[in-house]
Amino acid sequence: MCGRLSQYRGIHDFVAALSMPNALANSVGDQPIERYNVAPTTAVALLHLQGDLLHADPVRWGWRPHWAKDRAAPINARVEKVAHGPFFRAIWPHRAITPIDNWFEWVDEGGAKKQPYLIRRRDGAPILCAAIGQLPDADEGPGEHDGFVIITADSAGGMVDIHDRRPVVLTPDLAREWLAPETLQQRAELIMLHYSEPTAIFEWFKVSKAVGNTRNEGAELILLCDN
């Protein structure tokens, strides 16, 4: 996963896709998010549970432990290692969902610049990505070290031609279970390892190379491009 995504629906649309009856503490706002070219290190709308209350918070995309100050903050975590490696040990218990509309990948097709592709669900529904992070505390509020990573797995089928990694995407039922504080860590590991949505639910197409510049943010970036 190359590290660029879109969040343009409103947070209430993403919450509705989860079908959660929980009360919502919303610090993202009620209007459509309308971000078509979201880059790492920026704040991304994230959903997480504290007790029975569902929180929607803007959280920085990227995180590293305090003892790893000499390296860049990763934005993704490999599903094969995240539960047991030392790097993400502190945040592995703190699960979240990153709801997105699509993500982008770049493919070398022999031109001067790589060709970007947009990947989205065929049914148009929101994409519910499994994530972990150092998350805002309900009582203390956001912290300077808050951040999150999206969990990724090997691609399969035709998506391999676009990129060899993709987000771990969950059904609404499994996303709710992933978020639930009572879900045991062993069960959470099983969910992310074996129950990600299959490649067949996605579609992808070429988009304008303008998406490569993070200063470009318009809705035209998610439209099919013939060149």
Total-model pTM: 0.96
Cα–Cα distance for residue pair 74/151, rounded to 1 Å: 11
CB 98 within 8 A of CB 1: no
Q: Which fold has domain 5-222?
A: hypothetical protein yedk fold (3.90.1680)
pLDDT at 227: 58
Position 6 pLDDT exceeds 90: yes
Position 11 pLDDT exceeds 90: yes
Q: What is the mean pLDDT of residues 68-90?
A: 94
The encoded tokens of residue 88 equal: 């993400």
The share of the chain scoring above pLDDT 70, in percent, equals: 99
> Could you tell me the pLDDT band of residue 140, with boundaries at 50, 70 and 90?
confident
Position 129 pLDDT exceeds 80: yes
> Could you tell me the pLDDT band of residue 71, with boundaries at 50, 70 and 90?
confident
The encoded tokens of residue 63 equal: 């995180």
Residue corresponding to tokens 């299959």: 198
Position 158 pLDDT exceeds 90: no
What distance lies between CA 165 and its chain's CA centroid? Answer: 13
Q: Which residues are catalytic?
A: 2, 105
Q: What is the mean pLDDT of residues 191-200?
A: 96
Q: What is the mean pLDDT of residues 118-138?
A: 96
Cα–Cα distance for residue pair 106/131, rounded to 1 Å: 22
Domain ranges of the chain: 5-222
pLDDT at 143: 87
